[in-house]
Chain A
């Protein structure tokens, strides 16, 4: 959402509602926590409705209904209606599976504003490698059903070593499907993706070629398709402005009700995370020590605290600092100025080496208790 200077007060614009960690797919870069088996006690319809009401009162304007796979929630229609009742702009973030055009029509009737469908690859074998199965045809049907209902369609593609060569085909697919938006977002190496980094991190030349193609498409399709390209922060000299700053614009609630500032924050085990079952969203946002931990600049180490770009990147990704260094307050190793940038450089060097087998084996994301 609209970014402004760092001096203005934290104000959440978007609620990321992770309705469930159940998912038919098993993508090796999933943004859900590695500990997803501990979070299966899902909030029910009325608890989510209360969360939506509290979110709207807190000034939140958009909700992303996501997961896991939100379509596996039998009460999704009621949840869409509850979000719209609070006048939230309601985005469905889905794999499209299980594909069901009639269900999509019911969700549209309940007030759904937009649909984002993930596309793993244009190559069925590539899709099966990364997700454990290939659903290409069913996904295309759901994309067509979205357009037939007149809903705006976003295609989201997580790029990695296995599919980054197919950016031209992915752009052509977005054109054919009449997407309003195409997100070509490289994997960032946290959680499941960090566990699979050797198999997923592309070589630099492949990232730059994909970027050239995406930027050319952005110009050519201006006004028709908004084409976004996000580099892996391993190949940027400066860190990502992760979530537009810690607990500044986004609020995430896990399936079992834990409030977080981002998808990966549960991985920071040095912070104590609290639950919406016990606290109001406003209390969590305003006062939870975990939310206040990395707001503003007081927490910043050198070289961040005197850096000219600290109001642009907000000091980068805290989850990455914790994952790579065990210290959430350390300088993000993605930054070329970080004392431990060598960790990222070493991973990049390995990515330049051809693999014995491509694609390499990966650890698929599975919920042990999944039905």
Chain B
């Protein structure tokens, strides 16, 4: 299960692609595609850079709070984590646990 210390990247089978028809980002994987909304696309884009969950969530939350003032921080955090867990359930994330003393991303 994903937690704040997990390091994430998209599983090797996954390609992030802009659908030229809809203008939306899609995650492509064997014989399937997942159309992403704006926030999901941002999260997937950060996963493509191999970040920790904590950094990914913090970055998205900062953007969202700035963009939509008044949205509670906890709610955004919960939604991002739920999306990541849904990706994990579908086998679309490569999740690596890091111990508390291992260095964070640099």
Contacts and interface: CB of A to CB of B under 8 A. Distances in A.
Given A64-B31, A87-B17, A91-B31, A150 B26 contact: no
B21 A59 contact: yes
B33 A2 contact: yes
A235 interface: no
Contacts of B29: 89, 114, 152
Contact of B30 (A13, A154, A223): A154
Contacts of A64: 31
Contacts of B13: 113-114, 151-152, 180
Given A1-B33, A13-B33, A59-B19, A223 B91 contact: yes
A61 B28 contact: yes
Given A113-B13, A114-B13, A152-B13, A62 B35 contact: no
A1 B91 contact: no
Interface in A97-119: 113-114, 116
Given A11-B21, A61-B19, A222 B89 contact: yes
Interface string B27-45: 0111111110000000000
Nearest to A150: B12
Contact of B91 (A2, A61, A224): A224
A152 B26 contact: no
Contacts of A363: none
Interface residues of B, number: 21
Interface in A52-93: 59, 61-62, 64, 87, 89, 91
Contacts of B15: 89, 113
Contacts of B20: 59
Nearest to B32: A1
A14 interface: yes
Contacts of A114: 13, 29-31
Contact residue range for chain A? 20 to 34
A226 B90 CA distance: 7
A242 B2 CA distance: 36
A131 interface: no
Contacts of A340: none
A2 B30 contact: no
Contacts of A226: 90-91
Given A13-B33, A89-B15, 18 more contacts: A1-B32, A2-B35, A14-B31, A61-B26, A61-B33, A64-B31, A87-B17, A89-B33, A91-B31, A113-B13, A114-B31, A151-B13, A152-B29, A152-B30, A180-B13, A224-B91, A226-B90, A226-B91
27 contacts: A1-B33, A2-B26, A2-B33, A2-B34, A2-B35, A14-B31, A59-B20, A59-B21, A61-B19, A61-B28, A62-B33, A89-B15, A89-B17, A89-B29, A113-B28, A114-B31, A116-B30, A150-B12, A152-B11, A152-B30, A154-B31, A181-B30, A181-B91, A222-B89, A223-B89, A225-B91, A226-B91
Interface of B: 11-13, 15, 17, 19-21, 26, 28-35, 88-91
Name the 5 nearest CB pairs between A and B, nearest first.
A152-B13, A114-B30, A59-B21, A89-B28, A1-B33
